[in-house]
Amino acid sequence: MPEYGAFVPPGYVPTLPNSEQLSDASVVWGMSLSLTVFAFIRCFSQTYAQWRRIRKVNLYMALIWLELWSSTLIGVIYFVYMRGHIPPSFWFFGGTILLWTIQVQCIYQIILNRVGLIADNTALVRRLKWAVFGFIVLINIAVACIWIPAQLQISDRYILINEIWDRTEKVILAIIDVCLNLYFVYLVRSTLITRGLSRYVTLYRVNIFMISISMTMDVLIITMMSLNNIYFYIFFHPLAYLVKLHIELSMADLIAKLVKIGSIAGVCNCECHRDLGPNAMGFAPTIGRLSNWSPIQQYRARHRNNCTSSEDNSETEPTRPPEIRGVAQERPRRAMGDTWASSATRNSASTLERLKSASSDEEPSKVNSAVVSVEPHPSTVPDFQQV
């Protein structure tokens, strides 16, 4: 065993496992490694898909990768510590608490990010995120102030308090987890299912099943603390949070598939929706709150379909008047900074009136289908005549 590190008292007694205990605990660590490999593949696939779509790193990407690496590093450094290659020290136990803090904060912020996809009140979700973050920070500080002195064996009082407080904070974190997931289930039922989106019943049922799995992990964490072989708990803790990470990745994939199923097949070519672009439904739901995929905007999807069908059935009359159509056609030019676009837009109505008066004997359908040649407004034409 190497020399003890910083702030270790002289009477410190190392608590290292024997070969049998280490071999049993290594089985749990092997399960954690297998989940790490699968989680890495899933995180990479989701990150790559979102990077291709938005070309930047968002909060969801950072959270899933921080959760993955913190859970993996806790298992790795504790396995090396139990093998006797890392001495006990204040910095070792403090680094473990830091990784645990990142692990706990990230998993709850991922859940809140999923809640923010469904909730209509974004201000409430933002306040809820900060409230959960602040409350868990207080728990992290309390754990650091009690757990580190207990591991350093500063006094028997710290060890006794840690045995009680460690179980208490695990129960508190489990209650927070259940409350956030139940709030998500409530939002799915009240915001999506009650508005007629029956495809989200699958999300509702799957999330209830995932809540039971997450609760099982929390109960097993607390149970492992009461076993004679405490090293099961040390390796089972990162395993439980990797399972929670897989739950969140699965929920993100499920929401993305449901939104893709509910998106509009094809592109609406009517003039009144030409400015919306080919992807008016927004991004995939794993990158944060979406722009236009909310169930409140479902009427837009139905309106797009109605516009497409009415445009196919009408042969003579366009869906919008030519003067408004001219505005829609001139919008890309205005976005590029074309100074003639504004004059053409203002003059389109007067040009149409002149065209109608000039061709009053023709059929209305021919007038509406005629190509309007738009001239720039005289007031906007620059005067280059020398004085």
236-252 per-position pLDDT tens digit: 889 999 999 999 999 98
* Maximum Cα interatomic distance, the chain, rounded to a whole number of Å: 109
Nearest alpha carbon to residue 236 among 31, 373, 17: 31
Domain layout of the chain by residue ranges:
19-262, 271-313
User: Confidence band (pLDDT; 50, 70, 90) for 313?
Assistant: very low
Q: Mean per-residue pLDDT for 176-194?
A: 89
Judged against a pLDDT cut of 60, whether residue 233 lies above it is answered with: yes
Spatial distance between the Cα atoms of 267 and 57, rounded to a whole number of angstroms: 28
192 exposure class (CB count in 10 Å sphere: 0-12, 13-18, 19+): buried
User: Confidence band (pLDDT; 50, 70, 90) for 306?
Assistant: low
Residue position matching structure tokens 């993305």: 256
User: Confidence band (pLDDT; 50, 70, 90) for 352?
Assistant: low
Q: 19-53 pLDDT, tens per residue? A: 888 888 888 888 999 999 999 999 999 999 889 98
User: Confidence band (pLDDT; 50, 70, 90) for 87?
Assistant: confident
How large is the angle between the packed helices 90-118 and 231-262, nearest 10 degrees? 20
Q: Note the pLDDT of residue 350.
A: 54
Residue type, 9: P
Q: Note the pLDDT of residue 266.
A: 39
What percent of the chain clears pLDDT 70, i.e. is strictly above it?
67
Mean pLDDT computed over every residue of the chain: 74
Nearest alpha carbon to residue 319 among 307, 303, 306, 301: 307
What percent of the chain clears pLDDT 90, i.e. is strictly above it?
34
Q: Note the pLDDT of residue 360.
A: 53
DSSP 238-288: HHHHHHHHHHHHHHHHHHHHHHHHHSPSS---SGGGGGG-S-TT-S-TTSS
Which of 157-161, 332-336, 347-351 is the least confident region? 332-336
Q: 131-156 pLDDT, tens per residue? A: 999 999 999 999 999 999 999 889 88
Q: Mean per-residue pLDDT for 98-112?
A: 94
Q: Mean per-residue pLDDT for 247-272?
A: 68
Cα angle, residue 17 at apex, residues 13 and 19 outer, rounded to 5°: 140
Cα angle, residue 215 at apex, residues 170 and 123 outer, rounded to 5°: 80
- The answer to whether 6 touches 90, Cβ cutoff 8 Å, is yes
Q: Which fold has domain 19-262?
A: Rhopdopsin 7-helix transmembrane proteins (1.20.1070)
Residues 69, 72, 76, 79, CA torsion sign: positive
More confident residue, 319 or 246: 246
Judged against a pLDDT cut of 50, whether residue 289 lies above it is answered with: no
Nearest alpha carbon to residue 249 among 217, 284, 278: 284
Q: Mean per-residue pLDDT for 260-269?
A: 51
Residue type, 101: T
User: Confidence band (pLDDT; 50, 70, 90) for 83?
Assistant: confident
Residue position matching structure tokens 């959760």: 67
Nearest alpha carbon to residue 69 among 122, 94, 106: 106
More confident residue, 188 or 299: 188
User: Confidence band (pLDDT; 50, 70, 90) for 348?
Assistant: very low
Q: Note the pLDDT of residue 345.
A: 40
Spatial distance between the Cα atoms of 23 and 326, rounded to a whole number of angstroms: 76
Q: Note the pLDDT of residue 342.
A: 39
Q: Please list the helix, strand and coil fractions of the chain in percent, rounded to the nearest 5, in that order.
A: 75, 0, 25
Q: Note the pLDDT of residue 353.
A: 58
User: Confidence band (pLDDT; 50, 70, 90) for 294?
Assistant: very low
Spatial distance between the Cα atoms of 154 and 32, rounded to a whole number of angstroms: 32
Residue position matching structure tokens 């709030």: 183
Nearest alpha carbon to residue 145 among 194, 94, 192, 184: 94
